[in-house]
Amino acid sequence: MKLASVASLVGASAAIPFFFLGDSDVPQAARTILAVTTLGMTGSSTAIVAWALKPYVTAIRTLDDAIGPQTPLLVDTMTLLAQRRRRLVFPEQLAPATLPLTSWMVREPSDELAAKAQEILSLVNGRTGKVAVARAGDVFYAHTQGELGTEMQQIIAASPCQHTQKAD
């Protein structure tokens, strides 16, 4: 979706010169208004899509077999141009988010977790692509409602203040 939105912005931008080519009864001012409106609409829709999907979690991977509050997680989201952005976070750092289209907000890690994160980064960078430590204030949108897999239920249970509804 992000890529399609960016592609429509690029396409609209590339089409702007054609608004001014050729003879037409349409006044130059009207052509300019049409061009500006077209760019404004595609640009604003691209910005909205980028904002809405920035925290969307595309994958979560655990680095340990057992899941607990200090289990390192690799959380994947996407950049504006749909490139993977992988961050290291611990369930203990995840707090409920109050912003729209977000599930979790990352809290400041303890000194122990910060040191553990740096140690993990030195091991995983290069093998799993570029990984960064999630910063305090980063937000994620993950599906935490409905029918969840066992691993996701364990991740949610390991993060503070998280509640899941049991499926009947």
The DSSP annotation for the chain comes to -HHHHHHHHHHHHHHHHHHHSS--SS-HHHHHHHHHHHHHHHHHHHHHHHHHHTTB--EEEESSSS--TT--EEEEEE-TTS-EEEEEE-GGGEEE--STT-SEEEPPPPHHHHHHHHHHHHHHTTTSS-EEEPPTT-EEB---SSS--HHHHHHHHHSTT---PPP-
Is 143 a residue whose pLDDT tops 80? Answer: no
- pLDDT for position 90: 92
Is 165 a residue whose pLDDT tops 60? Answer: no
Top pLDDT among 110 and 149 is at: 110
pLDDT tens per residue, range 97-123:
888 888 889 999 989 989 999 888 888
pLDDT tens per residue, range 129-138:
688 899 999 9
pLDDT tens per residue, range 18-73:
888 878 888 989 989 989 999 999 989 888 888 877 888 888 888 887 788 888 99
Mean pLDDT across the chain: 83
- pLDDT for position 166: 42
- In this prediction, residue 164 has a pLDDT band, given cuts at 50, 70 and 90, of very low
